[in-house]
Amino acid sequence: MIVKDQALDAVMLRNDFPVLSRSRNIPALVYLDSAATTLKPQCVIDAIVRYYSEYGGSVHRGIYQIAERATEEYENARKQIARFIGAKTTESVIFTKGTTESINLVAYAWARHILKPGDEILLTEMEHHSNIVPWQMVAKTTGAHIRYLPLNDDGTLNLEDAHRYFTPQTKLAAVIHQSNVLGTVNPVERIVKMAHDAGALALVDGAQRVPHHSVDVTELGADFYVFSGHKMLGPTGVGVLYGNLEVLDKMEPFHGGGDMIRTVSMLESTWNTLPYKFEAGTPPIAQVIGLGTAVEYLSNIGLDKITAYEEQLTTYALKALRTIPGIEIYGEAPHRGAVISFNAGNVHPHDLSQLLDRDGIAVRAGHHCAQPIMTRLGISATTRASFYLYNTLEEIDLLVESIRKAIDFMGG
Ligand code: PMP
What percent of the chain has a predicted confidence (pLDDT) above 70? 98
pTM over 0.85: yes
For the chain, helix (H) and strand (E) counts, in that order, are 15, 15
Q: Are residues 119 and 204 in the same domain?
A: yes
**In testing the pocket of ligand 1, which one of 228, 386, 388 has its CB within 8 Å of the most ligand atoms?**
228
* Partners of residue 145 on adjacent β-strands: 120
What is the CA(37)–ligand 1 centre distance, in A? 9
Residue nearest to atom 12 of ligand 1 (CA): 99
Check residue 61 and report its DSSP letter. S
User: For ligand 1, what atom is nearest to the CA of residue 236?
Assistant: 15
Q: Which of 67, 162, 247, 369 is catalytic?
A: 369
What is the CA(199)–ligand 1 centre distance, in A? 27
Q: Are residues 234 and 280 in the same domain?
A: yes
What is the spatial distance between Cα 339 and Cα 128, in angstroms, rounded to a whole number?
14
How confident is the model over 185-214, as a mean pLDDT? Answer: 98
Instruction: Find out whether the peptide bond into 27 is cis, omega within 30 degrees of 0.
Output: yes
Q: Are residues 277 and 311 in the same domain?
A: no
Per-residue confidence band for 7, with pLDDT thresholds at 50, 70 and 90? confident
Picking from 261, 246, 254, the residue whose alpha carbon sits closest to that of residue 113 is: 254
Give the strand pairing for 120-124 and 382-386.
unpaired
In a domain, 376, yes or no: yes
Residue nearest to atom 5 of ligand 1 (CA): 180
Q: How wide is the angle at C-alpha 243 spanned by C-alphas 146 and 176, nearest 5°?
A: 45
Residues 6+ apart with CB under 8 A from 280: 253, 254, 255, 256, 257, 258, 259, 260
The values of phi and psi at residue 251, to 5°, are: -75, 150
How confident is the model over 350-360, as a mean pLDDT? Answer: 97
Per-residue confidence band for 411, with pLDDT thresholds at 50, 70 and 90? confident
Check residue 184 and report its DSSP letter. B
In a domain, 296, yes or no: no
* Residue type (1 letter), 154: D
In a domain, 194, yes or no: yes
Q: Are residues 281 and 306 in the same domain?
A: no
- Give the pLDDT of residue 116: 98
Picking from 128, 104, 149, 180, the residue whose alpha carbon sits closest to that of residue 384 is: 180
Q: Are residues 189 and 243 in the same domain?
A: yes
Question: Is residue 1 over pLDDT 60?
Answer: no
Q: Are residues 320 and 233 in the same domain?
A: no
Segments forming the whole domain that contains residue 378? 10-41+302-410
Q: Are residues 93 and 207 in the same domain?
A: yes
How confident is the model over 185-204, as a mean pLDDT? Answer: 98
**In testing the pocket of ligand 1, which one of 99, 102, 175 has its CB within 8 Å of the most ligand atoms?**
99
Residues 6+ apart with CB under 8 A from 75: 59, 90
In a domain, 78, yes or no: no
Per-residue confidence band for 62, with pLDDT thresholds at 50, 70 and 90? confident
What is the CA(206)–ligand 1 centre distance, in A? 9
- Give the pLDDT of residue 2: 47
How confident is the model over 379-384, as a mean pLDDT? Answer: 96
- Give the pLDDT of residue 290: 98
| Domain end call among 230, 252, 285 | 285
User: For ligand 1, what atom is nearest to the CA of residue 205?
Assistant: 1
- Give the pLDDT of residue 4: 53
Q: What is the DSSP code string of 78-145?
A: HHHHHHHTT-S-GGGEEEESSHHHHHHHHIIIIIHHH--TT-EEEEETT--GGGTHHHHHHHHHH--E
Overall number of domains in the chain: 2
What is the spatial distance between Cα 391 and Cα 377, in angstroms, rounded to a whole number?
29
Q: What average pLDDT does the chain have?
A: 96
Q: Are residues 274 and 184 in the same domain?
A: yes
What is the CA(3)–ligand 1 centre distance, in A? 31
Q: Are residues 215 and 343 in the same domain?
A: no
Consecutive H or E run containing 355: helix 349-358
CATH number at residue 168: 3.40.640.10
pLDDT tens readout for residues 276-286: 999 999 999 99
| Domain end call among 244, 259, 285 | 285
- Give the pLDDT of residue 177: 98
Q: Are residues 267 and 123 in the same domain?
A: yes
Count the Cβ atoms, other than its own, within 10 Å of residue 59.
Answer: 21
Consecutive H or E run containing 263: strand 261-264
User: For ligand 1, what atom is nearest to the CA of residue 99?
Assistant: 16
Q: Are residues 271 and 342 in the same domain?
A: no
Let me know: does 45 contact 236? Beta carbons within 8 Å.
no
User: For ligand 1, what atom is nearest to the CA of residue 36?
Assistant: 8
What is the spatial distance between Cα 87 and Cα 205, in angstroms, rounded to a whole number?
16
Give the strand pairing for 382-386 and 145-149.
unpaired
CATH number at residue 397: 3.90.1150.10
What is the spatial distance between Cα 253 and Cα 94, in angstroms, rounded to a whole number?
12
* Residue type (1 letter), 60: H
What is the spatial distance between Cα 26 and Cα 205, in angstroms, rounded to a whole number?
37
317 phi-psi bin (left φ>0, alpha ψ -120 to 50, beta other): alpha
Residues 6+ apart with CB under 8 A from 124: 148, 149, 150, 151, 157, 175, 176, 186
Per-residue confidence band for 77, with pLDDT thresholds at 50, 70 and 90? very high
Give the residues surrounding ligand 1 with Cβ less than 6 Å away: 98-100, 128, 130, 176, 180, 205, 207-208, 228, 369
User: For ligand 1, what atom is nearest to the CA of residue 231?
Assistant: 15
What is the CA(296)–ligand 1 centre distance, in A? 22
What is the CA(334)–ligand 1 centre distance, in A? 23
Q: Are residues 247 and 309 in the same domain?
A: no
| Domain end call among 251, 285, 319 | 285
3-class SS of residue 187: coil
In a domain, 61, yes or no: no
Comparing 149 with 24, the larger pLDDT belongs to 149
Question: Is residue 115 over pLDDT 50?
Answer: yes
CA terminus-to-terminus distance, the chain: 45
Asked about 43 being catalytic, the answer comes back as no
